[in-house]
Structure 1
Amino acid sequence: MAISVKELGRSPGNMITLEERIAAPAELGVALIGVQEGSPVDLDLRFEAVHEGILVSGTAFAEVTGECGRCLGPIANDLDVEIQELYYYEGMGMPEDEEAEQYRVVDDYVDLEPVLRDAVVTALPFQPVCREDCEGLCSECGIRLEEDPGHHHELLDPRWAALTGLADTAADPAAQRTDSVEREES
């Protein structure tokens, strides 16, 4: 996704605009949500020559799809992100520790893909949800809690499982008589 900025030269104040629909690059998202590879991304950008390099600013618009982090239901939303990044000319004197972190104008081209990826990925939710009040899935059986609002499981600590039989016999008078008859016969 390299864009030529040759016509700007190195003359501060020169500017060009770009309104273009591009195909989304691979891996434009996170595990649960993102922009599908090849889907349209609308760019509305301005490239301005400044003393240090080329300032790219504007917006990118795309549709994001994925899964709810609670119920795993499908999600589809529009995403509109702001982009602003300075691409430095080669040979500009920067401190060495900052040099590796900066974008560069290389052979009169700027590569928009890493900037687009940074803008989109940081705008995506860490835990996407289909609705703020989504109840998610039952942790025991996986049923969607929205479909069965009163759903619950009687969870018994396995250390107390042996005592469940005692509670049943204490509540059943017939079982108590049978137990007492068995004790008398012994």
Structure 2
Amino acid sequence: MVDTRQLGRQPGSMRTVNRIVTVPEALATVMASVPEGSEIELELRLEAVMEGVLVTGTVRGQLTAECSRCLDPLSDDMEAGFQEMYRYTADEDDKTSGADEDAADEDEDYYLEGDLLDLEPVVRDAVVLALPLSPLCGPDCPGLCSECGAKLAEVGPDHGHGDNIDPRWETLRGIADDPGER
């Protein structure tokens, strides 16, 4: 939660906030994550506008993953940007009968809780979208051997398994070797 009282509600006022926070639960995709309990850095710019508070921010942290080719563990820096409008809550007196029409739009909006911003869902979405879907330990990672599972980077270029033919295809191989016999 970020307190906006110092910002005020005067449009045009601006304030920057830098924080280091602990991740309450892992922010993850299938192959990469920012683990639970790790720290992320938030750089925030809060701007008061007519409708609410515009938050522009950057999240930095450390991600852990496994290479999608060779399955080696890896760690890398992660950075994600976001921008979100937090609207002031409307007084009950200001609501009109047409407010029901905007109910679907309101579900997508974020609102100030008094003078506090709940940044957790916005930061979570930004981080998860910034995580790599197929992380690699290096751009030239050759991966694993499809036959034995050995790391191709370690076994060398002469690694092979010969002509391992599935015995179910042996009859067809005989036809291919001597097409004249039928």
TM range (shorter): 0.7 to 0.9
Is structure 2 residue 167 aligned with structure 1 residue 158?
yes
What are the ranges of 5 or more consecutive residues in structure 1 without an aligned counterpart? Answer: 167-186
What are the ranges of 5 or more consecutive residues in structure 2 without an aligned counterpart? Answer: 92-98, 175-182
**Other-structure match for 1:103:** 110
Query: Which structure: larger Rg?
Result: 1
Q: CA deviation at 1:161?
A: 3.6
Is this contact kept in 1: 2:30–2:133, CA < 8 A? no
| TM-score, normalised by the number of residues in structure 1 | 0.79
Q: CA deviation at 1:163?
A: 7.5
Alignment-mate amino acid for residue 116 of structure 1: V
Alignment-mate amino acid for residue 133 of structure 2: F
Q: CA deviation at 1:78?
A: 0.8
Quote the Cα distance in structure 1 between the aligned partners of 2:164 and 2:84.
54
1:139-168, CA deviations, whole angstroms, 9 ceiling, x for partnerless residues?
Answer: 22211111113323333133224688x8xx
Is structure 2 residue 132 aligned with structure 1 residue 125?
yes
**Other-structure match for 2:152:** 145
1:50-90, CA deviations, whole angstroms, 9 ceiling, x for partnerless residues?
Answer: 11111111211111111101111121111122121111112
Kindly report which structure 2 residues correspond to 1:66-81, keeping only aligned pairs within 5 A, or say none: 66-81=65-80
Alignment-mate amino acid for residue 3 of structure 1: V
**Other-structure match for 2:143:** 136
Alignment-mate amino acid for residue 49 of structure 2: V
1:14-65, CA deviations, whole angstroms, 9 ceiling, x for partnerless residues?
Answer: 2222111111231212121121211121111111111111111121111111
**Other-structure match for 1:19:** 18
**Other-structure match for 1:3:** 2
| TM-score, normalised by the number of residues in structure 2 | 0.80
